[in-house]
């Protein structure tokens, strides 16, 4: 039987010289770098100076037995990831269970079957090598993410500054020239100003998306939903006036837990989408429905033309739009909504049929 040998450094720990020699000679002949230790204390001393890729550890040894050696290895951050294969003549299940609980990855029994030993060693060396590669990739990814975050913050600052200048100068020109230029020119100036605001909104959305993605801890608290919804409406006051929307809001909201600044962003996105995709004029109904699972479903129902199954499947995907032919947008809002609500322990979704409008919802834990 031909078995591929994975290169690596092995440490054999056994107090019986015959066992050491048998394994040493066999594994050395296959190209492994092999070190030996005659007892547990000697093994721990060696490992401190040079860690092996895998340890073959006898259980029954005088003084410090294999179980204690394994326990110490797994208690140390520097050595806990080294695979340990116990060598034993014991066949009792309780001893194997104890070894696995201590962190061993496998057992081989005496007398040794060479091919079995080799297969088990190669299997666990391969797993460990894959783990190391994954760890290195994770470190690289963390570094790249940190660099990307730093870059995005720099870009956000650099984009906002000229955007604010565009808005300010456009407002000045409108104020100074509105009485002396034609209607078409005035509309163009206002479009320039709106483009500046759009640039800032896109930048803020990108930064919020990054913030939600990296923020591991959310400061959950009871939410005054009436206040949050009011603040979201105030952010959209010009849009609400432009669309001449009719909004129905409950007189009382149930109390849920979440992070209020983020939930305000959720409402702002849902309301904004309702204005864009609602009827003519749009009618939006807001509400909340307690669920049996201890959550509250908050929702926005519109009177738009509804969504096909294909459109619904693309809703919460970053950088896509509900319907590019109908309305302009940068396609970040609903992706941000999903990230926010998942961070708060809830879910998002939509219920819609073509010709019957849509109901966008999110859930938050209820306050008992």
Torsion of CA 330, 335, 341, 346, to 10 degrees: 140
Q: Rounded to two decimals, what is the model's pTM?
A: 0.53
Of 185, 189, 157, the closest CA to residue 172 belongs to: 189
In a domain? residue 142 = no
Using DSSP's 3-state secondary structure scheme, residue 365 falls into strand
Quote the distance between the C-alpha of residue 329 and its chain's center: 25
Spatial separation of the C-alpha atoms in residues 10 and 103, rounded to whole Å: 18
Is 143 part of a structural domain of the chain? no
Sheet holding 283-290, edge to edge: 246-248, 283-290, 295-301, 358-365, 348-352
What pLDDT, on the 0 to 100 scale, is given for residue 228? 95
Helix, strand, or coil (residue 348):
strand
Residue of 42, 70, 68 lying closest to 56 (CA atoms)? 70
In a domain, 124, yes or no: no
Residues 108, 24, single domain; the answer is yes
- How much is the pLDDT for 32? 93
User: Is 78 within a domain?
Assistant: yes
More confident position, 200 or 212 = 200
At 320 the pLDDT is 53
Mean pLDDT of 144-162: 73
Question: Residues 170, 230: one domain?
Answer: no
Give the domain CATH number at 276. Answer: 3.30.565.10
Is position 126 within any domain?
A: no
pLDDT exceeds cutoff 90 at 37: yes
How many other C-beta atoms are found inside a 10 Å radius of the C-beta of residue 255?
14
In angstroms, the CA 138 to CA 133 distance is 9
Residue 119 has a pLDDT of 92
Cβ atoms of 193 and 166 closer than 8 Å: yes
Residues 252 and 333 in one domain: yes
pLDDT at 83 over 70: yes
**Domain check: are 200 and 285 in the same one?**
no
Position 213 scores a pLDDT of: 62
Mark whether 305 and 352 lie in a shared domain: yes
Segment 9-28 shows an average pLDDT of 91
Same domain, 361 and 240: yes
Q: Which of 186, 214, 242 is the last residue of a domain?
A: 214
Residues 99 and 159 in one domain: no
Residue 291 has pLDDT above 80, yes or no: yes
Overall average pLDDT of the 219-228 stretch: 93
Residue 294, in any domain of the structure: yes
Point out which residues pair with 12 in neighbouring strands.
36, 56
Report how far Cα 222 is from the mean position of its chain's Cα atoms. Answer: 25
Residue 144 inside a domain? The answer is no
Q: What is the pLDDT of residue 313?
A: 82
With a cut of 90, say whether residue 86 has pLDDT above it.
yes
Lowest mean pLDDT across 33-37, 165-169, 290-294: 165-169
Whether residue 334 contacts residue 300, with contact meaning beta carbons closer than 8 Å, is answered with no
Taking all residues of the chain, what is their mean pLDDT, rounded to a whole number?
85
Q: How far is CA 117 from the centre of its chain?
A: 40
Question: Could you give the 3-state DSSP secondary structure of residue 221?
Answer: strand
Do residues 189 and 309 both lie within one domain?
A: no
pLDDT, tens digit (0-9, with 9 covering 90-100), for 297-353: 999 999 998 888 888 887 887 655 555 434 344 345 788 888 889 989 999 999 998
Number of domains in the chain: 3
Pairwise CA distance, residues 44 & 53, whole Å: 14
Question: Among residues of the chain, what percentage have pLDDT more than 70?
Answer: 86
Of 288 and 330, more confident: 288
Domain boundary among 66, 94, 112: 112
Tell me the H-state helices in the chain: 17-29, 40-49, 66-75, 93-102, 114-177, 183-214, 225-235, 237-243, 260-277, 309-313, 333-343
**For 266-289, what is the mean pLDDT?**
91
Please tell me whether residues 240 and 360 are part of one structural domain. Answer: yes
Mark whether 207 and 228 lie in a shared domain: no
SS (H, E, C) 79-105: CCCCCEEEEECCCCHHHHHHHHHHCCC
Region label for 319, one of left (φ > 0), alpha (ψ between -120 and 50) or beta (otherwise) = left
The backbone torsions φ and ψ at residue 139, rounded to the nearest 5 degrees and listed phi first, read -65, -40
Average pLDDT (22-43) is: 92
pLDDT band, very low/low/confident/very high, at 2 (cuts 50, 70, 90): very low
Residue 330, pLDDT score: 37
Range(s) of the domain holding residue 208: 149-214
Total residues belonging to the chain: 368
Q: Give the per-residue pLDDT at 41.
A: 94
């Amino acid at each position: 039987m031909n078995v591929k040998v994975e290169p690596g450094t092995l440490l054999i720990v056994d107090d019986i010289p015959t066992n050491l020699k048998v394994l040493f000679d066999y594994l050395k002949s296959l190209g492994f770098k092999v070190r030996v230790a005659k007892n547990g204390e000697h093994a721990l001393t060696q490992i401190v100076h040079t860690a092996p890729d895998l340890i073959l550890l006898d259980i029954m040894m005088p003084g410090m037995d294999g179980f204690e050696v394994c326990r110490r290895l797994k208690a140390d951050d520097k050595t806990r990831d080294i695979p340990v294969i116990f060598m034993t003549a014991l066949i009792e299940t309780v001893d194997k269970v104890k070894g696995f609980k201590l962190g061993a990855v496998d057992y081989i029994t005496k007398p040794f079957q060479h091919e079995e030993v080799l297969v088990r060693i190669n299997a666990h060396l391969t797993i460990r090598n894959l783990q190391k590669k994954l760890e290195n990739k994770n470190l690289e990814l963390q570094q790249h993410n940190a660099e990307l975050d730093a870059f995005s913050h720099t870009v956000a600052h650099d984009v906002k500054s000229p955007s604010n200048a565009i808005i300010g100068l456009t407002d000045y020109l409108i104020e100074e020239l509105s009485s002396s230029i034609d209607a078409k020119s005035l509309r163009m100036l206002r479009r320039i100003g709106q483009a500046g605001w759009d640039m800032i909104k896109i930048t803020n959305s990108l930064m919020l998306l990054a913030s939600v993605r990296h923020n591991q801890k959310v400061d959950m608290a009871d939410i005054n939903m009436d206040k949050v919804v009011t603040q979201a409406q105030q952010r959209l006051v010009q849009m609400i006036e432009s669309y001449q929307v009719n909004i129905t809001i409950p007189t009382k909201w149930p109390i849920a837990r979440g992070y209020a600044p983020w939930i305000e962003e959720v409402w702002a996105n849902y309301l904004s989408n309702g204005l864009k995709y609602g009827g003519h004029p749009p009618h939006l109904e807001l509400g909340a429905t307690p669920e049996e699972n201890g959550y509250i479903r908050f929702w926005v129902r519109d009177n738009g033309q509804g969504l096909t199954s294909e459109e619904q499947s693309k809703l919460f995907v970053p950088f896509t739009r509900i319907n590019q032919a109908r309305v302009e947008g940068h396609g970040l809002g609903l992706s941000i909504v999903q990230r926010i609500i998942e961070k708060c322990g809830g879910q998002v979704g939509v219920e819609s049929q073509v010709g019957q409008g849509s109901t966008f919802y999110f859930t938050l834990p209820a306050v008992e």
